[in-house]
Each structure stands twice: as structure tokens, then as C-alpha cells.
Structure 1
Amino acid sequence: MRSFDGCRFPEAGSLGQMCPTQQTSIAATRDLLRGASPSDVCGGPGPVVAILLALVAIATAGTHPATAQGLPDRCHCGYLAVRGDAVIAEQASDRLYTPASVQKVLVATAAMHLLGPEYRVATVVRGPQPDDDGRVRGDLTIVGRGDPTWNRNHFERDPRTPLEQLAEALWQRGVRRVQGDLVIDGTAFPGRETPPDWPVGDLSFRYGAVPSALAIDANTVPLSMRPGRRVGDPAIVSTTAPIELYNLAVTAPAQRHGKGTVEFQLRWDRAAIVVRGEFPISEPAFDIRVAAPRPLQLFADAMAEALRRRGIDLDGAVRILDLNQAAAQTADEIVLARLISPAAVEWLEPLLADSDNWYAEMMLRVLGLEIAGAGRLDAGLEVLGDFLVDVVGVDEADFDLDDGSGLSPFNLLAPRAVVSVLRWARQQEWFAGFEVALASDRQGTLSRSWGAVPRLRAKTGSLTHVQTLAGYDYSISGEPIVFAVFSNGRAVPRHEMKRDILAELRRWNQIVTTLDAGVAAGGTTR
């Protein structure tokens, strides 16, 4: 068991020992209703609080789980809610669950602590000094170290803006012609791009885009789709990206409306996407962003085009270094241009509020690169694990992580570990930037699909049969409730899982409100 300033986490499935001054579990109120005296319940808060706690228990007893009690018995569910030093509610918080995107909280806090909120990534262009005629007599090498911001979150007008800025910087440096190759060096992120157990069906979509040390538009490309003129005609698919499209999708009858089965398959041997399946003739046209095939090739092509548009001629070829190939640097090479990313604290809103998997996977590899010296998936996971155990004090048995984003169904995490991280984060100088980047009723995933929510700053998580939520509840004045709720293995609509989690939060708020009133009343009678 772990200690919260004198209070101890309860054992899984039981009340355990709480704070001596404040018994704040609904289980304790039921003990009181069964006839136990307040002094029997961890010292007891006094008769006034005992009465109020009993009223809370009466108010919530016998009601339907979906409307008042929150999470039903028939699920693999665990939670922990703490306020100050008091455990408000707990259920199996030391067991392991699939956390989904709540896992991004771990990556965000590790990055703020180990890299710092003002950490920035430099992308540099190396090559020989141009001569008086503007000729670079050798290769021009673009060296990436994992800047995740060359996308629409930071460059809304055009995610290719950073490429244009690099080309302009080279022009200002006097570069007019490159008499060698344009070399793309993405070797800062070698090895496996994704965990081996990411679902194959996720790899083609935006949320499954692979990380790379050099990337534009979060390694995604746009597709537009609409039905053909007649049933049986090919569906109409187009893109503005420089990739090949193999369109095998057909137009299906109107009876298939809402049941389209279009799928996208990436060709890793070339920059190509295969589109197959059915598109009902009654469906409207739609646009979608999918994962980019061969993202470093797309980056290379875009960089060459940016140079051409700026008037810089390239005599040689466009070359991409093998990810496991050491980049060679000649003695006459210097840094000709440099582009610095926004500060790491500015990466947090898309990571946390919008739950962008791209940022999580990129940041995990940046952690590996900067802290362990290798921008590999396994190096980033090792750094993250060391941070949780050595810095925060999480029990190493409370997690087994497979990626940074939470997309893998094989991630395992205990609710009490997340609460420990959230409580630890509140004591850090960078907490304000972290907290404001979490979702709320006006920002991010909570504002889009959860309906009416309390005054939360929280991280959501969703996978098939998985719904999670963790963060800070400010519905009651004073100390927030710091909580983590993991609901796994429920074959019900997602909105029902969200409803039940919010019901759980409302129940905790009712407990705290009653306790606060009781403590105040008890204080005036002594």
C-alpha cells in the first residue's frame, strides 16, 4: 500500500485505513448505518458528521446503478478519488486495467519534468558554405530530431510553412544552387515505428500515423470520397497529396446507408494507398485524413518542392538515409539554417485536450532521444518507467506500458498510479501549463462527446469496450478531487459508460459536500 501524507490506499475491494480526522468513504457511511459508532470508523469525525454521512448513504441506497451508483458490478472497473489527504472512494485501484488515452498524462508529466516546459526541438540544414555565386558544392542535409509541431495545430494555414521557412533561411544565407543531393536524415528515430500489437485496422487512420524524426501534417494525407453516379460504379476517391491511389471501392445500394465498409490499406513499399469496400449511393461526400504511407518520402518530396518554389536549384537526387544508417558529416559542412519548435508546454493542449496520438508517440521518442540517447520506442518506454518509479514513486507493479498514446490494447495501468502522478504534478512549478491543457467542458474531448460535465480538468480515454477518465474535479470549492476511473470490458454503448462515470463523480461530490458541511457544523459545537 502507498501512503498519501498519512492516509493509506485501501486494499483492493475493501475500505482500508483512512485519515484519522475524516472518514470519507461511502462504505464508512454504510458501516454507520449498520450500527457502528463513529469512533469505530478510523477514529470517527464526530456525531454531526456521522449523521450527515448516514444521510448520504440513505440518499444513494437502493437507486439504479446507472443513475446514481455509477459503475455497475458487471464490469472490470476500478477507481480512486482523493481530496487533500483523504480517500473519498476506492474500488480495486491497485488492479491493472487498459487505460486508453489516459496514459497520455504519464507522457506529458514526464516530458515537463525531464525536458522542461521550455524545451524546444531544433531542425537543422547542413552543408558546405555557398560560394560567391550561391553554389553549395556538396549535399544539403536536413537533420530532424522529432519536432511534432509541423502540422495544423501550429500552422493552421499550411503545415508546409516550416519547409518554406527553411527554404527562405537558405535563400537568405545565399544558397542558389545545390550541386549535390538533398539528403533527408530521419535517423534520430531508428528501429520499430509502432508497437507490434497495435491493431492493424488502426494503422491506416490518422490516429495510427507512425512517428518520424522529420514529418509534416502529422504524417497524414487528405482523402475525399463520394459515391459514383450509379450502383456498381466505382466510388470516387481523390487526394491532393503526392501519392498513388488504388481505388477498389464500389458504390453500394441505398439500403446500405450508414453501413459503408470502406477501408484504407497503406502500401509500405511505395507512397500508395489502396481503398476498398462499399460506399452507399445515399451517403454524402466526406473528407478524411488517413495515415501517410512512407512519410519520410513525402517529407523529402515536399522539401524539394519548397526549395524549387524559392528558386533554389537542385542538381542531384533526393536521398533518404536508412533509419539504421549513421549519418556522415564532412569536415566542410556547417549549419546553414535552423528552425526551432514552439516550447514543449505548447505541445500539451493537442496531446491532452485533443488526445492526439501523434504527439504522444513523438514525445515518447523525444524522451528516449534526449534522456537515453536513442529515439527508439523501447528507449522512450524505459525512460517513462524510470520516471514513474524513481521520481513519482509509483510501484513498478502498477503499470506495464506498450506505447505512449494508449492506443495499444496491451497497456496496463492501475488507477492509483495515475492519481499518484496527478497529485505529484500539482506540486510542480509547471503545473499551471499542464492543467490548462487538460480537457474541460469548454475544451477538447470533454466538450465534444461527454454532454454536461462537472467543473473538470481531465484526460479522457476510449477504446473498444474501454472508457476511462482521470483528472481534477473542481465542482466543490477548496481542494479538488483528484481521481482516476477505469471502466473495462463493458459491451454497452459508449455514452452509457460515460454516463456511469459521471454519475460516479457526482456521488463523490455529494459525499464531499456532506462531509464539509458536517465538519463545519461539528467545529461550531465543540
Structure 2
Amino acid sequence: MADRFTRRFVLAGLGAAMAPGVALANAPLVSLRPQLRGAQPLGAERLIQAAGLRGEVAFAVADAQTGVELEAVGGDLGLPPASVAKALTALYALDVLGPEFRFETKLVADGTIENGVLNGDLILVGGGDPLLDTDALATMAANLREVGITEVRGAFKVYDGALPYVFSIDPGQPDHLGYSPAISGISLNFNRVHFEWKRAGTNYDVTMDARSARYKPAVDMATMWVEARKAPIYTYEASARQDRWTVARAALGNGGARWLPVRKPALYAGDVFRTLARSNGIVLDRVQVTRQAPVGLALVVHNSDQLDSILRGMLKYSTNITAEMVGMTASRARGAELQSLTDSADEMNLWAAETYGVDGVAMVDHSGLGDASRIAPSALVKMLVEAQKSGALRPLLKRFNLTDSQGRPVKNHPIKVDAKTGTLNFVSGLGGFITTPDGSELAFAIFTADVDHRAKIPRSQRERPSGARSWNSRSRRLQRALIARWGTLSGS
């Protein structure tokens, strides 16, 4: 496989580079420092061959202080980055919006208020907050009562036009996967609804709710029917005002729960807010969805956490909808006219070219869920090197643990890694920063992908396709072996 790669090496004499099981105490023969070009050692390629991966492997590693690329295999080869793309999105949002940016969700009165009665419409105005949850809506409903509103005589509307509507982040994913929900200018509970079932004699008790830490209001806009079949496990059908689901009885057992994606975010948020307002004595009419920018008096304003805190959570938990909403908000702030998720990704690609002078970025979304996205590892490394100058990204990244030969995490490992992982079936990525035992800082990106095999997986089997777990495990072992190699050589 290795002879298909473009090779770039700035190292000499690495023939004795460590293999995956070699202990860190063994002194390497050379230091990871720029050397004369021309030598083409096979140490990294031996690791690649030992991994036994079908498909492509590409990586690049550079000195994070100088930007000098130290080693690359397929460095200019664009591969799907999976969730490593969220590191790029974080850089994009920090640059365009700033770390102190906050999203606003508002309750707006379009009409006059007399003695606590709103003679007009009440509008729940989404501002693109990806972390809005039921607890926040409950506080907003309580605050609406506290400012004196006891009755609304007009319509109840939800404005979701701050961002374009997207039915699913990746339409190629099965309908029931909660990590590929719809997107719009308002999101609630990551646009997921909680489905729970319990056996009751020969039947099942089924609930659909919008639970969060303190509340779990039932919802009307998502329904579930248990049907006597074995497959498919789930079916989805959209109606004008509902997400309609069915589930196979044979798959339910005695009970369980899972999150399902919401395809009608504005109706979902409105449904939940009506319930919470009613608990505060305010009765609202049936939800109307509007994409017309609201005009009126802001009665209640909910501010999100700061953007840097939101991004830290996004990078830690790899939340796709957060990446998409943050990315689209940044694109809108740059003045881009957005009709789709791809439009926003195109704007981010343009920003990467303008800001970092790279041409190896071709994303189709901001989360990396779409497997048509491509990033060249050398391009990402160049951006990471520049980001390290400001120090804005690394503190937001999650610590990546290296392991021993048995796969167990090693505490107090001399090589420190802060990175973003990325995993799709038959796609794996890792990108971030390494601090070596001698204090050197490296920036790196590793991508592996069996694109041809992934493309052949039927849509219905993409949740857990055969062979994917083993393939991705071998990819992760290769990533750790390469990091150990770079860190050990540099630290000698």
C-alpha cells in the first residue's frame, strides 16, 4: 500500500524507528529535527503496513513553533476528516465571532401590553443557540410571568429564520440516528426527542418527551407507534405538524430508551414552550412557525455561554449540531447568503484559503459527518501551526491518552497530546498538538479512510456495518504508534 503515497521526509536514519510495541525507554538513534532532504526511511511506512488497513493512510507532522514539516506520507492527499473537522470549525468561529460571543434567544411581544395582557403576538425568537435546552425554556417561561405577562390574546409564533433549515446534517445516515438531526435557527436539546418504552403485559407504554436536567415535558409533535414486525427497526414519516415514527415490536425487549432526531425544530421548541408557559399560568395558542424577522419589544432574553466554552464542549463531546450551528452563524456573520449547509461550508473553505493560504480544504459541512468532505493533512497542520501562535485552540482540545501494549491508558505519559478525534465507519482521523518529553511542540494530522468500501454500505446498515469496528480499532492503534514514534524521536 505504501507505494501509492506521496512521501516527504525531513529526517535521516530512521530505519530503527520504533514499532508499536517498543518501549519508550529505548533510546532512538536520531532526533526529530530538520535534516537534509533525500533520505526516505521506512519506519513510518512499516507502521502503516503493520496496521493492515484497506484504503488510504495520510499524515503530516510539523514543528509547531517554526512550521517546518518534519514528516509526511500523503500529506497533500485529501481524505474525509470525520469529526477532526470540528477543530477547523472552532478556528473559524473563534476568528469570525470571537471567544466572547454569545447567542441570544428571546421572547418578543408584537403588540401592546395592558395590565399583563399582551394584545398581539408572542414570538419565541431563535438566535442559533446550539445549547438551548428545556431548562432554559423553563426559565424563560417563568421570567415571562415575572415581567407581568398573564395572558396572550394574539398568536404564538416561533421564529427560526436566523439560520437556513436543513432536514438532516447528512441525509445518507439512517433516519433514526440522533447525531444527524435537522437544523434551523432554533434548536432544543440538540434537536433530539427522548423515546422510552416499557413492557405493559402484552403491550408497551411509550413516551416521547423533551427531558433535560430538571424537566421532562411530553411532546405532541413527535409520535411513536409499535408495530408487529421484525424489520426495519424504525420508520419515519413527516406530516405537516409531526414527526411520525414506528418501531418494530420484536426489537423492544422489556424496555429501554434512546434519543431520536427532531426534523421540525421550531414546532418542537414551540410545543415544549407552550407546556412550560401553561405551568406558569400563561395559555398560548397552537404554534405557528415564521421565518419573517420579528419586530417588537423583547420581554425576556436568554444568553448562551460564551463561544469558547461552547466550543470546548463541542470538541469534548463531538456534538455535530453544535458544529453546524456555530459554523453557519460564522458564515452569516461574514455576510454569506446561505441556502444550505454546503453554502456555509463553502464559505468556511474560502476563509481557510484567505486566512491560512491553504488549498487542501474542501468541506461540505462543519461537523465532518458528511463523508464527501476532504482535508489534506498538510493543510490542517499548517492551520494548527498558525493557531498555536495565539494559543486559542489547544486549551479547548481534549487530552488524548496514549496506551501501553495492552491498550490500557498510561497515566503521566511523558508524551502529552491534545487533539480532536474523528470516527465514521471505515474513516478515522486525529489532529492536534504533541508536547514531547523534551518540551518540543508538534502539530499533526492523521487521516485513514476506506472510501470505496464505505460507499458500498447500504444506508440501512450504516449504524453498525460489518467489519467497521475492527477497521477503526486498527486505525486508532496506528495513530497512537505514530504519535509515540514522533514523541520518542523528538524527545531523545
TM-score by length of 1: 0.74
Quote how far apart the aligned CAs of 1:165 are: 2.2
Q: Give the Cα–Cα distance (whole angstroms) in 1 for the partners of residues 111 and 234 of structure 2.
A: 48
Q: Does 1:118 align with 2:118?
A: no
Q: Give the Cα–Cα distance (whole angstroms) in 2 for the partners of residues 245 and 297 of structure 1.
A: 17
Q: Does 1:496 align with 2:474?
A: yes
RMSD: 3.5
Q: Give the Cα–Cα distance (whole angstroms) in 1 for the partners of residues 254 and 427 of structure 2.
A: 30
Q: Give the Cα–Cα distance (whole angstroms) in 1 for the partners of residues 113 and 251 of structure 2.
A: 60
Which amino acid in structure 2 is aligned with residue 198 of structure 1?
P
- Equivalent positions of 1:33-44 (< 5 A) are 42=36
Residue of structure 2 aligned with 1:163, choices 134, 137, 143? 137
Q: Give the Cα–Cα distance (whole angstroms) in 2 for the partners of residues 410 and 272 of structure 1.
A: 28
- Equivalent positions of 1:438-477 (< 5 A) are 438-441=397-400, 451-452=408-409, 455-477=416-438
Q: Give the Cα–Cα distance (whole angstroms) in 2 for the partners of residues 496 and 285 of structure 1.
A: 34
Which amino acid in structure 2 is aligned with residue 13 of structure 1?
T
Q: Give the Cα–Cα distance (whole angstroms) in 2 for the partners of residues 328 and 43 of structure 1.
A: 62
Identity %: 22
Q: Does 1:180 align with 2:154?
A: yes
Q: Does 1:348 align with 2:319?
A: no
Quote how far apart the aligned CAs of 1:372 are: 1.8
Per-residue deviation, residues 214-262 of structure 1 (Å, max 9, x unmatched): 2211110111246787xxx667644334122122255x7xxxxxxx963
**Match of 1:239?**
208
Q: Give the Cα–Cα distance (whole angstroms) in 2 for the partners of residues 424 and 293 of structure 1.
A: 38
Quote how far apart the aligned CAs of 1:464 are: 1.2
Contact 2:47 2:482 in 1 (8 A): no
- Equivalent positions of 1:148-297 (< 5 A) are 148-150=130-132, 159-194=133-168, 198-201=171-174, 203-225=175-197, 237-240=206-209, 241-242=218-219, 243-248=222-227, 250=229, 262-277=233-248, 279=250, 285-297=255-267
Contact 2:89 2:327 in 1 (8 A): yes
Q: Does 1:506 align with 2:467?
A: no
Q: Give the Cα–Cα distance (whole angstroms) in 1 for the partners of residues 474 and 249 of structure 2.
A: 30
Per-residue deviation, residues 323-343 of structure 1 (Å, max 9, x unmatched): 4xx3363xxx32222111111
Residue of structure 2 aligned with 1:81, choices 37, 55, 61? 61
Contact 1:235 1:249 in 2 (8 A): no
Quote how far apart the aligned CAs of 1:213 are: 1.2
C-alpha spacing 1:278/1:422, structure 2 compared with 1 (3 Å): farther
Contact 2:416 2:436 in 1 (8 A): yes
Contact 1:228 1:234 in 2 (8 A): yes
Per-residue deviation, residues 319-361 of structure 1 (Å, max 9, x unmatched): 111x4xx3363xxx32222111111011112211111101011
Q: Give the Cα–Cα distance (whole angstroms) in 1 for the partners of residues 50 and 409 of structure 2.
A: 15
**Unmatched segments (≥5 aa) in structure 2:** 19-33, 210-217, 454-466
Quote how far apart the aligned CAs of 1:435 are: 2.0
Quote how far apart the aligned CAs of 1:422 are: 1.2
Per-residue deviation, residues 68-89 of structure 1 (Å, max 9, x unmatched): x764475311000112434332
> SS at 2:485's partner residue?
helix
Contact 2:436 2:490 in 1 (8 A): no
Q: Give the Cα–Cα distance (whole angstroms) in 2 for the partners of residues 96 and 25 of structure 1.
A: 28
Residue of structure 1 aligned with 2:344, choices 374, 380, 384? 380
Instruction: Give the structure with the higher percent helix.
Output: 1
Contact 1:270 1:293 in 2 (8 A): no
Which amino acid in structure 1 is aligned with residue 96 of structure 2?
L
Q: Give the Cα–Cα distance (whole angstroms) in 1 for the partners of residues 431 and 444 of structure 2.
A: 5
Q: Does 1:436 align with 2:406?
A: no
Residue of structure 2 aligned with 1:320, choices 277, 280, 289? 289
TM-score by length of 2: 0.79
C-alpha spacing 1:166/1:280, structure 2 compared with 1 (3 Å): closer
Q: Give the Cα–Cα distance (whole angstroms) in 1 for the partners of residues 80 and 37 of structure 2.
A: 36
Aligned residues: 437
Q: Which one has the largest radius of gyration?
A: 1
